[in-house]
Amino acid sequence: MLTAYATNSAAPQAAAGGGIGMIIYLVVMVAIFYFLLIRPQKKRQKAMQNMLDALQVGDKVVTAGGIMGKVYSIKEDSVVIETSADKTKIKFEKTSISRVLTIHE
């Protein structure tokens, strides 16, 4: 009977040790997830926002749809782009600008 009692008291201690290991494993997985996915995405979003804030009239840009042109006018959330030699003007949302080809000093 004493042997059975000693075996039963050891089982809860082993389960508690496994719980701490699982918590450490979860913390490590969250840290890896943060540094590999969340942090780089925030850096890309910040760079994109800085690019849109620095946009000026006359900049050459490319939209998400692949349309290339020169910025004709800028409003709070929209941009008018002048494309081709015919001076066709197209209005886009500011967030649809994917790249600015003009280099500012």
The pair phi, psi for residue 93, each rounded to 5°, is: -70, 145
Does residue 72 share a domain with residue 28? Answer: no
Q: Residue 103 — pLDDT band, cuts 50, 70, 90? A: confident
What residue numbers bound the domain in which 11 lies?
Answer: 1-53
Residue 83 has φ and ψ, to the nearest 5°, of -115, 150
The one-letter amino acid code at 78 reads S
- Same domain for 105 and 65: yes
Residue 97: φ, ψ to 5°: -75, 120
- The three-state secondary structure class of 68 is strand
Q: Look up the pTM and report it.
A: 0.67
Same domain flag for 33 and 81: no
Q: Are residues 37 and 49 in the same domain?
A: yes
The CATH number assigned to the domain holding 83 equals: 2.30.30
Say yes or no: 65 and 45 in one domain.
Answer: no
pLDDT tens, residue by residue, 5-37: 545 554 455 555 678 999 999 999 999 999 999
